[in-house]
Amino acid sequence: MRGLAAAPSQRVQTAATDVRLAILAQEFMVQHGFNSVEEFRGASLPYFTTHHELVRMQREAVAAKKRARTGLSGDDKWSGDGFVREAESMVAN
């Protein structure tokens, strides 16, 4: 609970957390060359998506990788020089 209704120990803990958060934000801004929060506010929004969309993208990537697999028709088709490439072409992820 925040504000004056909180117990004194909770207010001190909240204030310490707020100070630590402010320090971390300042360190982030210095590290990335920002002068204000407004310079990076909302910058990550284009990268946010839903879990449903992430699952769809993952399934699409796995299906594409499966389609790209060349595979081998039998054990006698393995070559010493291409072993790693041939094995990697058969792995789904």
Asked if 65 and 93 count as a contact pair (C-beta separation under 8 A), the reply is yes
pLDDT at 5 over 70: no
69 pLDDT higher than 90: no
Domain boundaries along the sequence of the chain:
1-44, 49-93
- Smallest Cα–Cα separation from 28: which of 43, 15, 45, 14? 43
For residue range 16-49, list pLDDT tens digits in order. 888 999 999 999 999 999 999 999 999 999 989 9
Residue 69 near residue 90, CB atoms below 8 Å: yes
